[in-house]
Amino acid sequence: MMEMESSKTVPAGVSVQGAKVQGVSVRLSKVTRTYGDVRALSELDLAASPGEFVVMLGPSGCGKTTALRALAGLEQIDSGAVYIGGKDVSRLPASKRSIGMVFQSYSLFPNMTSAANVEFGLKVRGFSSAERRKQAHEMLEMVGLIEQADRFPHQMSGGQQQRVALARALAIKPEVLLLDEPLSALDAKVRANLREQIKQLQREVGITTFFVTHDQEEALSLADRVAVMNNGNLEQFGTPTEVYSSPETDFVASFVGTVNVFYGTVLDDKVAIVPNVGNFTYVRRTGTPAPGDRAEILVRPEAITVKGDLEGEYLVSDVTFLGSNVRIRVQKEGSTFTIIQGSSDIDIVAPGSRASLDAKGSAILVRSKL
């Protein structure tokens, strides 16, 4: 909360005063890690700008944790390099990398109070006990747990423990903050709450952050940029909007968000047609079928509207009220399509009735029919 981006001459490592840390750039370059036959990371390239909030998203087992641990120095890499602030740290052990790390759960030292946990990193750095106490106090205040300072981990809720873990990670004023599914062990309400807190804190502190999750909603809401991973590879690296609205690969299209797969025809460079639904604009890329070809057209639920139509091709199978939105499922020839509409339109269709669909926006991907 001091000046925004301060001078770039702040030395790497620990800066003591103030919560504001100069973000640094971080880069993984062709990082490979194999376990026996499993290739957990294969030539992964990933770069974050100073102060950026990067979320790594992917299915379980795709190598997110391995990537994060390689970045932290907790996992050896077979080849490739890790740069933090432009410096090659590949050979440095975790304890020398100036990294703050938050784990999924149970990472607080059970024999220490919250305050002692937060102080730990400063203690091993040789800070005086007065200094440690002062900083731990600040950090606990920052995460709103000052009353819990003398509690042991087992006396706190999961959400509180994770906040202490966050305070502990930030107390050493690291250059990079790494979070490995820090919210996945919490219940929904706490999770949403803490998510907001993490985001806000990151903004305030301005630290370059990598956040691992398999929850796409979490990823899209938190990230400056989302790194979608699959099988140890980076599938796409872009802003949430890019990843959601113009996925670069089939995997991203189907993994992030819900998609409807329509069969249609490519009309020209900008528009594809789904019979009886309408025209969808799209963006060409390599591999897009030529104009005139049959194609699969991938469309988000929000890019379609549904209306009651006695003659309609689609059978409404399910209508779910989600608050401000309504999710409608319709079926045609064994395929299911999902449509999301504002709830003011709810009276349009009822389960069991027939309906027709209308194009409203653009397709996220047009690919040749499999």
Partner 1 sequence: MTVSSLGEDRESEGGFGGNNTSEPIKGSATRSVVRFLKYGNWRRFMGVLPFIVYLGIFLLIPAISVVVDAFKGDNGNFTLSNFSIGFSGVYFESFKNSIQLSLFSAVISTVVGLLVALAIVASPGRTLRAVVTAGSGVFANTGGVPLAFSFVATLGNFGLVTELLTKIGYNPYNHGFSLYSVLGLTIVYEYFLIPLMVLIMIPPIDALRKEWVDAAASLGATRIQFWRYIGGPLLAPPLLAGFLVLFTDSFAAYATAAALTSGTIPIVPIQIGSLISGNVLVGHAHLGNALGAGMIGVVIIAAIMYGFVQRRASRWLR
Partner 2 sequence: MASVIGVPAKSSGVGGSNVLRVGKVFRAVVLGAVGLFFIVPVISSARFSFTGSSAGFSFSAYSKLLSDPQFWSTLFLSVKIGVGTVTLSLAILIPTTVWVHWKAPKIRRVMEALSLLPLVIPSVVITLGVITSFGSLPNIIMGTPVILALEYVVLALPYTYRTLDSGVQALDIKTLVEAGQSLGAPFRKILWWVLLPNLKSGVLGVVVLAFAFCLGEFAVASLLSFTTFAVYLVQIGQTQASEAIAFSLIALLFTWIPLSIVTVVFSRRAGKKSRRGGGVLMSSQSVTELVELSE
Interface contacts to partner 1, rule CB under 8 A:
69, 72-74, 93-97, 99-101, 103-112, 120-121, 123-125, 152-154, 165, 168-169, 172, 178
Interface pick for partner 2 out of 36, 126, 323, 334 (rule CB under 8 A): 36
Of residues 36 and 126, the one with the C-beta less far from partner 2? 36
Q: Which does 124 bind (CB under 5 to 8 A by kind): Mg ion, ligand ADP, partner 1, none?
A: partner 1
Tell the smallest beta-carbon distance from residue 294 to partner 1 (Å): 52
Structural tokens at position 86? 């432009």
Q: Does residue 65 belong to the site contacting ligand ADP (CB under 6 A)? A: yes
Total Cβ atoms within 10 A of residue 151: 16
* φ and ψ at residue 118, rounded to 5 degrees: -65, -35
Of residues 168 and 300, the one with the C-beta less far from partner 1? 168
Of residues 184 and 325, the one with the C-beta less far from ligand ADP? 184
Site for partner 2 in 100-129 (CB under 8 A): 106, 110
Of residues 69 and 195, the one with the C-beta less far from ligand ADP? 69
Of residues 162 and 246, the one with the C-beta less far from partner 2? 162
Tell the smallest beta-carbon distance from residue 240 to partner 1 (Å): 27
> Could you give the 3-state DSSP secondary structure of residue 140?
helix
Cα pseudo-dihedral 74, 75, 79, 82, rounded to 10: -30
∠ at Cα 234 (231, 238), nearest 5°? Answer: 145
Number of residues this chain uses to bind partner 2 (CB under 8 A)? 4
Tell the smallest beta-carbon distance from residue 64 to ligand ADP (Å): 3
Q: Does residue 63 belong to the site contacting ligand ADP (CB under 6 A)? A: yes
Site for partner 2 in 216-255 (CB under 8 A): none
Q: CA distances (Å), 260 to each of 21, 275, 330, in order?
A: 44, 14, 11
Query: What's the sign of the alpha-carbon dihedral 167, 168, 173, 179?
Result: negative
Alpha-carbon span 289 to 238, nearest angstrom: 24
Q: Which does 236 bind (CB under 5 to 8 A by kind): Mg ion, ligand ADP, partner 2, none?
A: none
Alpha-carbon span 354 to 345, nearest angstrom: 16
Of residues 229 and 359, the one with the C-beta less far from ligand ADP? 229
Question: E-strand spans in 3-161?
Answer: 26-35, 38-48, 53-57, 79-84, 87-88, 99-102
Tell the smallest beta-carbon distance from residue 177 to partner 1 (Å): 10
Tell the smallest beta-carbon distance from residue 25 to partner 1 (Å): 19
Total Cβ atoms within 10 A of residue 129: 10
Of residues 154 and 189, the one with the C-beta less far from partner 2? 154
Of residues 110 and 126, the one with the C-beta less far from partner 2? 110
Q: Does residue 35 belong to the site contacting partner 2 (CB under 8 A)? A: yes
Total Cβ atoms within 10 A of residue 46: 20
Tell the smallest beta-carbon distance from residue 230 to Mg ion (Å): 14
Of residues 127 and 282, the one with the C-beta less far from partner 1? 127
Tell the smallest beta-carbon distance from residue 61 to partner 2 (Å): 14
Residues whose CB falls within 8 Å of the CB of residue 239, separated by 6 or more in sequence, listed in order: 223, 224, 225, 226
- Give the number of C-alpha atoms closer than 13 A to the C-alpha of residue 284, restricted to the C-beta side: 10
Could you give the strand order of the β-sheet that contains 260-266, starting from the edge strand earlier in sequence?
Answer: 278-281, 271-274, 260-266, 294-299, 363-368
* φ and ψ at residue 32, rounded to 5 degrees: -125, 140
Q: Does residue 263 belong to the site contacting partner 2 (CB under 8 A)? A: no
Residues whose CB falls within 8 Å of the CB of residue 157, separated by 6 or more in sequence, listed in order: 190
Tell the smallest beta-carbon distance from residue 79 to partner 2 (Å): 15
Q: Does residue 233 belong to the site contacting ligand ADP (CB under 6 A)? A: no
Alpha-carbon span 246 to 240, nearest angstrom: 10
Tell the smallest beta-carbon distance from residue 203 to partner 2 (Å): 34
Binding site for partner 2 (CB under 8 A): 35-36, 106, 110
Binding site for ligand ADP (CB under 6 A): 35, 38, 40, 58, 60-66
